[in-house]
Amino acid sequence: MFGIPGKPPVTLTEAAQNQILRLMARGGSKGLRIGVKKGGCAGMEYTMEYVDEIAPHDEVVETNGARVMIAPMAQMFLFGTEIDYANGLIESGFRFNNPNVTEACGCGESIKFAGT
């Protein structure tokens, strides 16, 4: 993993931890895998999926029982990201406060990183 020894590659807010714990309990999964893929008007999109097995090259981040796995291809793009969860009247969902993003589309669904 790209990182600083002793510092987690991503951090989870309390709201994100609580939502991940709810999703893990509901789905009986070991956590959520976070990744990035090509797509959207800015070039890249975040992905999230339930995980039943932890892949050998996943970076595992666990905070108070809430577990996320970072897919190998996404590790360099997500370093330093704070993952939050917002619950609103119109929309609810995870928010990625990512210092590596250089551009985002107007709808907030796709992002661009330096050099991509």
CATH number for the domain spanning 83: value is: 2.60.300.12
Written in H, E and C, the secondary structure of the chain is CCCCCCCCCEEECHHHHHHHHHHHHHHCCCEEEEEEEECCCCCEEEEEEEECCCCCCCEEEEECCEEEEECHHHHHHHCCEEEEEEECCCCEEEEEECCCEEEECCCCCCEEECCC
Q: Which domain holds residue 38?
A: 10-113
In this structure, is residue 62 part of a structural domain?
yes
pLDDT tens by residue, 81-104: 999 999 988 889 999 998 888 777
Confidence (pLDDT) at 110: 67
User: Which pTM value belongs to this model?
Assistant: 0.83
26 lies in a domain? yes
Q: How far is CA 104 from CA 9, 61, 80, 91, 99, in A?
A: 21, 25, 17, 18, 12
Q: What's the gap between Cα 55 and its chain centre? A: 16
Mean pLDDT confidence for 36-41: 79
Residue 97 covered by a domain? yes
Best-predicted range by mean pLDDT (72-76, 100-104, 111-115)? 72-76
Mean pLDDT calculated for residue range 41-49: 83
Assigned domain for 105 exists:
yes
The number of folded domains in the chain is: 1
CA distances (Å), origin 66, targets 10, 25, 40: 12, 10, 28
